[in-house]
């Protein structure tokens, strides 16, 4: 097994920004390198920890706190974790960071795809529904997305493949000594 430390890679970005796609590439890469990894994406967590919660600010905050609680439990025990929830509120992300403080390494990764690009692709058709009002409380349209001010890593996805974006993450993790170089 490759050498690694426990850490939480906290991916944040708009719906459709590429968080899940980049995570998929990272899952394969970690597997290739024989590094353990747990992925807490929005859907897994809503199913197993947060069923019944909605998308109000309060419910989103509770959901994010639960993800952070579990991510910290894992990462402080040496397990690499990726979370991939939109996590639109700065204060809530900072709270997630605080939960990790003194326990393990928190890496905020801002997947900085612009709203225009996310909406132009609209792979799941969610932006169209948000514009028509069919979906309420949609981040970037009817709900705020507060960009990270000082993330550990900012990924500019424009003109890049998911593999290239994932490589940015791997380079960071290697440079920080969180995973060993390939």
- Using the minimum distance from each CB to its own copies, give the nearer residue, 36 or 162: 36
- Residue 114 annotated among the catalytic residues of the structure: no
Q: Write the binding mask 162 to 181 for its own copies: x where contact by CB under 8 A, - elsewhere.
A: --------------------
Alpha-carbon span 170 to 179, nearest angstrom: 8
Alpha-carbon span 31 to 64, nearest angstrom: 26
Q: Which of 11, 23, 95 minimizes the C-alpha distance to 57? A: 95
- Using the minimum distance from each CB to its own copies, give the nearer residue, 48 or 180: 48
Smallest distance, its own copies to C-beta of residue 52, A: 8
Given the residues 15, 17, 50, 87, select the one marked as catalytic: 87
Angle, in degrees to the nearest 10, between helices 57-75 and 90-100? 20
- Using the minimum distance from each CB to its own copies, give the nearer residue, 76 or 90: 76
Alpha-carbon span 155 to 165, nearest angstrom: 7
| Chain residues 49-68 in contact with its own copies, contact rule CB under 8 A | 49, 51, 62, 65-66
Dihedral Cα 63, 41, 18, 23, nearest 10 deg: 150
Q: Is 79 in the site for its own copies (CB under 8 A)?
A: yes
Residues that bind its own copies (CB under 8 A): 36, 38, 48-49, 51, 62, 65-66, 69-70, 73-74, 77-79
């Amino acid at each position: 097994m490759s050498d690694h430390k426990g850490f939480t890679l906290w991916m944040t970005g708009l719906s459709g920004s590429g968080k899940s796609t980049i995570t998929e590439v990272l899952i394969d890469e970690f597997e290739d390198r024989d590094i353990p990894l747990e992925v807490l994406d929005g859907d897994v967590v809503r199913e197993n920890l947060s069923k019944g919660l909605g998308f109000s600010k309060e419910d989103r905050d509770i959901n994010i706190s639960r993800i952070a609680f579990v991510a910290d439990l894992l990462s402080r025990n040496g397990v690499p974790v990726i979370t991939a929830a939109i996590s639109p509120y700065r204060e809530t992300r900072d709270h997630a960071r605080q939960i990790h403080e003194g326990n393990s390494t928190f890496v905020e990764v801002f997947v900085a795809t612009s709203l225009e690009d996310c909406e132009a692709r609209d792979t799941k058709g969610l932006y169209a529904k948000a514009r028509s009002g069919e979906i309420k409380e949609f981040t970037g349209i009817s709900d705020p997305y507060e960009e990270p001010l000082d993330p550990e890593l900012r990924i500019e996805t424009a003109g890049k493949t998911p593999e290239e974006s994932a490589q940015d993450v791997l380079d960071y993790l290697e440079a920080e000594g969180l995973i060993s170089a390939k």
